[in-house]
Amino acid sequence: MKLSYLYIIFFFLINHLQSDDLKIYNIGFLDIKEDMRYSKWGIHPVDIRSKLNKEKRPIQGALLAIEDSEKFTRLTKTKFSIEHITKKTYEDAINFLNSKDLEKFETILLDLNLQNLKYFKNVLKNNPNTIFFNISDPNNDIRKNICLDNFFNTYPSNAMYTDSIAQYLVKKKAQKSLLLTGPLVEDEKISSSFKESAKKFGIKIYKEKFFVNNNDPRVRDKNNLFYLTKGKKYNNVFISDTDGEFALGVPNATMSPAIVSGSAGLMAQAWHWSYLRHGAPQLNGRFERMNNRRMESKDWAAWISIKTIVESVLRIQNISNKEIIKYLKGPDLQVDGSKGIGLNFKKTTNQLRQTILLISSNNWTTKVAPLEEFTDSENNLNTLGLSYNQAECKLEE
Amino acid sequence: MKVYEIIIFIILNFFIFFSTVQSKYIFVSNENSDTITVLNKDKKIVKTIRTGGRPRDMKFSLDNTLLYVVVSEENHIAVIDINSLKIINYIKSGDDPEIFDVSPDGKLIAVSNEDDNEITLIDVKTQNKLTTIENVGVEPEGVNFSKNGEFIYVTSEGTNSVVIINTKTREIVNEILVGNRPRRGLFIKDGNEYWVSNELSGSVTIIDTNNLKIIKNLYFSVKGIRDQNITPVDFAYSSKLDKVYVTLGSANHVAVVNGSNYNVEKYILAGSRVWGAALTNNDEELIVTNGNSDDISIIDLVKQTAVSSIPVGKTPHTVRVMQ
């Protein structure tokens, strides 16, 4: 009995000492319950019907980053804690950002398909002391229109993805594109990004066709690859299919031989389990052991977001967001994303510069963009994505 | 068999035995062809030893009769008898071993286990695992015993630091923040300085081991090469010349650094993604492994230029030369 008292006292003492020694930095991870991106889009039809199908939510990447951050404690003297905030709808999530509850957190990771950017920007503006990371939305308009000091994009933009593929097509001398665009708004966004990339790198889009994923014989010009890909004027097919099911059938099925890229065939991704260099296998191993599944791009973006915060605290030995933002926007940040090159943010768009992996058939890293042939006077990573002067809001801030 | 035949046989064997031991070998571990290429002092390939899953770091035993090789995917250290050039034993090393060191008295081996964020300490004599030291940072890589063996220095790639372990108590006694992605360490000047290669920062951090203060962060600049492609990894040190040779990875060059004033005196062109390095021929030659061109470069340090390259296995990792 006596001993157990002693033990309890000892336990409290230890806890007390620990909390006294370590500063606390609170991170929130915000997502919504019904999110098409995880329940339907991009999921293999076989997996939808499988009992093993689990939603691959990037909170798991964030949790790994928190676990990794504990290894830094001796030097950061900071405990990074995370809270998973799941709201029912997108509106509820935005209401949360407008509420007093937000004050509990220094940083928020946003796992949202962002809507109504103008309003969203105002929400962020009202919380200038909180740091926000976009970890899953590739929409170029976000980079063009939200240029706030406290908002960072760690997930690549569509422009980075389509630029990477464009570089590869140019290198392979396959510069005649047939563009296949799906029915979703998101598909249109990817296609318009590919059009911009084509212009930037000298690819000719010979035709854009719009497909639907059904078997209706009345619209066979839109659902049958014979009609969609007939002719010989192209040597590559770029397909924008966020849902992903139609795209799966396109490689090896075009009427003329062609490199298929975009939503199937050669796919541009921030992260993939087949990358074997620069410590990637170690990161993949840690993630797989922790979560029993393979690490994907959004997991990586969540992981690197927290890692940039930890890296900042490590270097500046300060947990005030004002100082952290200064460091994140400054020239000294060189965060290690296991991609073999120090990563930092572009001015104005606050997009994390990074290499993009070009993945074949979802099982092999064929190439890493930017390709060696594409250089930039400041940083070769700048050949991917929007440049500073493409941001439309730069004069405002 | 007559008696004199036996005597001649013994004498011949004796002669062969000693002539083999005295000849110098160069060993190159090829991590993607699962082999070790053995070259003689004339740089002719004399043998290829199969090791199995991913051989990486190598070290000699104190008496130079054995070569230890970590075989990462097999989770052990293969022991090669240098006389017969055959694997004679395996020592368990913990999961995914990468870099290791043998203590100055030859009694201990310390191995980094990258996946488990641990260091495994092994008794060389019994070949048993003594202990694992946990929480040495994310992805520990470089491991070095200090000169008297009192401390083990570990570079931690994921936490950008050097963790210092007391060998006796097996406790972490200090941690020093260095550049990004520190890969390897090197003690020079009788153990008074510890150099760390920071792959992502493109720099070398020089630590005074007496007060654990950073003396200098040494940056490199190679004409015509982007700073982001300067990725230092391995070292070779000549105390005779007072020079440290730093392999610069994707920059495909080796930096020659003056050990006294820390000036970079020369950048010598090597092969593609130059990693491992070792001195030979009385410190007149440097041998480096080129991971992306599957060969080694022989650098003449008098002429300060690469004089030849020799194809070895796939993705050569480490090179060691019998002194």
Domain boundaries, chain A: 2-156+275-353, 159-269
Task: Report the C-alpha gap between A156 and A172 in whole angstroms.
Answer: 23
Q: Mind telling me how many Å the CA of A71 is from chain B's nearest CA?
A: 5
Instruction: Give the count of beta carbons closer than 10 Å to the beta carbon of residue B113.
Output: 24
Per-residue pLDDT of chain A (397 residues; tens, 9 = 90+): 455 555 555 544 444 444 458 999 999 999 999 999 998 898 888 887 887 778 899 999 999 999 999 999 999 999 999 999 999 999 999 999 999 999 999 999 999 999 999 999 999 999 999 999 999 999 999 999 998 999 999 999 999 999 999 999 999 999 999 999 999 999 999 999 999 999 999 999 999 999 999 988 899 999 999 999 998 899 999 999 999 999 999 999 999 999 999 999 999 999 999 999 888 999 999 999 999 999 999 999 999 999 999 999 999 999 999 999 999 999 899 999 999 899 999 988 999 999 999 999 889 999 999 998 998 888 899 999 998 788 887 544 4
Q: What tokens does A227 get? A: 């009609």
Q: Tell me which chain B residues have a C-beta less than 8 angstroms from the C-beta of A303.
A: none
Q: Tell me which chain B residues have a C-beta less than 8 angstroms from the C-beta of A75.
A: 159, 161, 175, 177
Subunit contact B115:A286, Cβ cutoff 8 A:
yes
* Per-residue pLDDT tens digits for B75-114: 999 999 999 999 999 999 999 999 999 999 999 999 999 8
Judge contact between A168 and A367, C-beta under 8 A: yes
**Topology annotation, domain A159-269:** Rossmann fold (3.40.50)
Whose tokens are 């005074």? That residue is B208
Subunit contact B137:A334, Cβ cutoff 8 A:
no
Task: Report the C-alpha gap between A79 and A315 in whole angstroms.
Answer: 15
Q: Name the 3-class secondary structure at A186.
A: helix
B135 closest CA partner among B151, B113, B150: B113
The DSSP letter of residue A277 is: S
Partner residue opposite B177 with nearest CB, options A286, A314, A336: A314
Subunit contact B201:A334, Cβ cutoff 8 A:
yes
Q: What number of residues does chain B have?
A: 323
Q: What is the pLDDT of residue A7?
A: 54
Partner residue opposite B115 with nearest CB, options A74, A285, A314: A285
Subunit contact A342:B159, Cβ cutoff 8 A:
no
* Bridge-based pairing state of the strands B213-219 and B203-208: antiparallel
Q: What is the assigned CATH class of domain B3-321?
A: mainly beta
* Per-residue pLDDT tens digits for A228-275: 999 889 999 999 999 999 999 999 999 999 999 999 999 999 999 999
A43 closest CA partner among A351, A344, A362, A275: A362
CA quadruple B314, B317, B322, B323: dihedral positive or negative? Answer: positive
List, in order, residues 6 or more apart from A68 with CB less than 8 Å away. Answer: A286, A303, A307, A310, B138, B158
Describe the crossing of helices A59-69 and A280-291 by its angle, rounded to 10 degrees. Answer: 110
Q: Tell me which chain B residues have a C-beta less than 8 angstroms from the C-beta of A340.
A: 231
List, in order, residues 6 or more apart from B2 with CB less than 8 Å away. Answer: none
Give the residue on A whose Cα is nearest the Cα of B178. A315
Task: Report the C-alpha gap between A164 and A77 in whole angstroms.
Answer: 39
Domains of chain B, by residue range, sit at 3-321
Q: Which of B119, B159, B205 to mutate to test the interface with A (most CBs of A within 10 A)?
A: B159
pLDDT at B117 exceeding the cut of 80 = yes
| Mean pLDDT score, B198-206 | 96
Partner residue opposite A71 with nearest CB, options B114, B159, B226: B159
Task: Report the C-alpha gap between A63 and A311 in whole angstroms.
Answer: 16
Whose tokens are 């890293």? That residue is A365
pLDDT bin (cut points 50, 70, 90) of residue B227 is confident
Angstrom distances, CA of residue A283 to CA of A109, B161, B202, B222: 20, 18, 22, 31
What ranges make up the beta strands (E) of chain A?
23-32, 78-87, 107-110, 131-134, 151-153, 176-181, 204-210, 236-240, 259-262, 266-269, 335-336, 342-343, 356-360, 364-369
Task: Report the C-alpha gap between B197 and B231 in whole angstroms.
Answer: 8
The DSSP letter of residue B249 is: B
Judge contact between B153 and B129, C-beta under 8 A: no
Rounded to two decimals, what is the model's pTM? 0.88
Instruction: Give the count of beta carbons closer than 10 Å to the beta carbon of residue A205.
Output: 18
Judge contact between A315 and A335, C-beta under 8 A: no
Q: What tokens does B100 get? A: 């290791």
Q: Tell me which chain A residues have a C-beta less than 8 angstroms from the C-beta of B160.
A: 311, 314, 336
Task: Report the C-alpha gap between A286 and A291 in whole angstroms.
Answer: 9
What ipTM was reported for this prediction?
0.83
Subunit contact B201:A336, Cβ cutoff 8 A:
no
CATH of A2-156+275-353, one of 3.40.50.2300, 1.20.200.10, 3.30.830.10, 3.40.50.300: 3.40.50.2300
Give the residue on A whose Cα is nearest the Cα of B135. A71
Task: Report the C-alpha gap between B272 and B251 in whole angstroms.
Answer: 8
Chain A contacts in chain B segment 199-228 (CB below 8 A):
200-201, 226, 228
Q: Name the 3-class secondary structure at A274.
A: coil
Does residue B112 sit at the A interface (CB-CB below 8 Å)?
A: no
Chain A contacts in chain B segment 119-178 (CB below 8 A):
135, 137-139, 156-161, 172, 175, 177
Q: What tokens does A248 get? A: 């799966």
* Per-residue pLDDT tens digits for B38-83: 999 899 999 999 999 999 999 999 999 999 999 999 999 999 999 9
Task: Report the C-alpha gap between B116 and A286 in whole angstroms.
Answer: 9
Whose tokens are 């994310």? That residue is B138
